[in-house]
């Protein structure tokens, strides 16, 4: 990988032998292996059987989970907040495991829509809840650094499964508890309709 990175430096017009770039291939290799570590992660090992039988059927929400990922189209970062909710049927999942689950899928080459669905689908598969909802808000550097160069735009994606998809009151309760507008910097004054929500299932 380091040889490829040296070649890339040459192709963009740099000199990989100059002092500031001598260790860059090693650093980039280390960084990329970390940012793509989700490929090697075993979901079952990450979750570590942290499923608990409880008599609880109300909504569980973990919000404002920071995530960082790489866009598979340009290998540029996108990052933001992930909000996860589910309604247990018989089991709950350890709260600390949900951010870990987000990291597993974020640390791969991604598109935000697929990332959102993968998190929701995994929770549904592992604990069979009555419903799962995942909302992700992200800034994409492929939009703000290049291309359209829109520095203040956000992409918002959602996956609504089970009760969150079928019951509008449940969905609205989640969105109200989420307080999405106040959670996104710079959204005061914008209307909710101005957000692009995709990925609903």
Q: Return the active site residues.
A: 71-74, 112, 140, 142
Q: Are 82 and 96 in contact (CB under 8 A)?
A: no
**DSSP-H helix ranges across the chain:** 2-11, 24-35, 43-47, 97-106, 112-127, 141-144, 163-166, 168-178, 180-183
The closest of 138, 45, 131 to 89, measured between CA atoms, is: 131
The closest of 16, 12, 14 to 3, measured between CA atoms, is: 16
Q: Are 74 and 146 in contact (CB under 8 A)?
A: yes
Written as six digits, the tokens of 13 are 């017009």
Handedness of CA 41, 43, 48, 50 (dihedral sign): positive
């Amino acid at each position: 990988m380091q040889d490829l990175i040296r070649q890339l430096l040459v192709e963009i017009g740099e000199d990989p032998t100059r002092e500031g770039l001598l260790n860059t291939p090693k650093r980039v290799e280390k960084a990329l292996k970390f940012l793509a570590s989700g490929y090697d992660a075993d979901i079952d090992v990450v979750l570590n059987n942290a499923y608990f039988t409880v008599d609880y059927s109300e909504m569980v929400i973990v919000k404002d989970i920071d995530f960082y990922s790489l866009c598979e189209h340009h290998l540029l970062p996108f990052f933001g907040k992930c909000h996860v909710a589910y309604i247990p049927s018989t089991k709950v999942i350890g709260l600390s495991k949900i951010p870990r689950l987000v990291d597993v899928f974020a640390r791969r080459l991604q598109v935000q829509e697929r990332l959102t669905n993968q998190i929701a689908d995994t929770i549904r598969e592992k604990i069979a809840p009555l419903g799962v909802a995942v909302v992700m808000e992200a800034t994409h550097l492929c939009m703000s650094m290049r291309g359209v160069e829109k520095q203040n735009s956000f992409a918002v994606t959602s996956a609504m499964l089970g009760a969150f998809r079928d019951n509008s009151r449940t969905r609205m309760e989640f969105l109200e508890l989420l307080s999405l507008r106040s959670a996104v910097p710079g959204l005061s004054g914008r209307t909710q309709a101005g957000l692009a929500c995709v990925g609903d299932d």
